[in-house]
Amino acid sequence: MLNFPIHSIVMQLLDEFAVAYEDYLRTSRSVSPQRDDALRKLAEIARRLLSFLTLIENVLRVMRTKLESGSIVAQEDVKRLSILLESTLSIAQFSVKLLSLEQMYDELAPLFGISTLEHPVKIVKIESGSLWADILGYPKIIDLMESLISGAVSYMYRNFTKEGKITSIPRKVESIDSILQLRSRLKDAGIDTISMDENIQKSSVIVAEQLNRLLGGEAKVTINGQVYSVEANLEQKYLEERNKLLLPEPATSEKERD
């Protein structure tokens, strides 16, 4: 179930895209900062529009499955992952966080030798405002996603408690390995990781990026009924730090650009 007005959101994004496209056309014949800004804005709105249309496509696919089969029933070859993020999200933030779940699943599947065509991730339920998503997928992949998400959010809260500022998973491979421990988690899942160094390293970097997108700025996360949150006495400070991260960058004057 998708609990927000799809038509109005699509029309809003299309209107924004049309305006941005017209701005780009007006500046496209000249080499100037204005043209570059118009192109960046057009690309960003196009990305948001594509993300939202992809989301709608996934939801419609689930609805068709429900209509054909009556309902989605958990089978032996699928497992459910439920995640609730309680912060208020914009359309763009909602889309990015939801798609990060799918991209994480798609990145982990090859490590298990699993085809996402045969075992795709399926959306059972989505609610917006906050993000509440129920998905189904191959059991071992879902188990690994659950452990990676819980490990990542625990790391973020633990470091906030120590440092007083919101922390994301670092970009350095060595740090990612120590935090995610993807290799050991794969071994625990029965995967022979010999000769998989390059694949595991690449996947770790991509998964870390998706975890940062999914969990960034979230003061409370519920994963399959298990609640993770920053300490109660630090919640207000956490939200203040989150709001600082969300503040728009100050506008740059034409003189500074030149």
- Residue 57 DSSP SS3: helix
Residue 69, both tokens: 């089969």
Nearest alpha-carbon partner for 230 in 168, 181, 176, 157: 157
Half-sphere exposure of 134 (CA within 13 A, CB side): 13
Find the radius of gyration of the CA atoms of the chain. 20
Q: Please state the rounded mean pLDDT for residues 196-201.
A: 91
Q: What pLDDT does residue 75 have? A: 52
Pick the more confident residue, 59 or 72. 59
Report CA-CA distances (Å) from 183 to 84, 108, 132, 173. 27, 12, 29, 13
Q: Please, what is the average pLDDT of the chain?
A: 80
pLDDT score at 212: 92
pLDDT higher at 127 or 42: 42
Q: pLDDT for 62-112, tens place per residue?
A: 666 555 544 444 455 889 999 999 887 777 778 888 889 999 999 999 999
Q: Which residue has the higher pLDDT, 91 or 131?
A: 131
pLDDT at 254: 38
Residue 251's pLDDT is what?
38
Indicate if the pLDDT at residue 6 is higher than 80: no
* Pairwise CA distance, residues 257 & 208, whole Å: 33
* pLDDT tens digits, one per residue of 26-45: 887 776 778 888 888 888 88
What pLDDT, on a 0 to 100 scale, did the predictor assign at position 247? 40
Compute the distance between CA of residue 31 and CA of residue 173 in angstroms, rounded to an integer: 39
DSSP string covering 143-185: HHHHHHHHHHHHHHHHHHHHHSS-----SSHHHHHHHH-HHHH
Band of pLDDT at residue 252, cut at 50, 70 and 90: very low
Asked if residue 235 has pLDDT above 90, the reply is: no
Ordered by start, the domain boundaries in the chain are 1-71, 74-246
Sheet strands (E) in the chain? 79-85, 122-127, 131-137, 220-223, 226-229
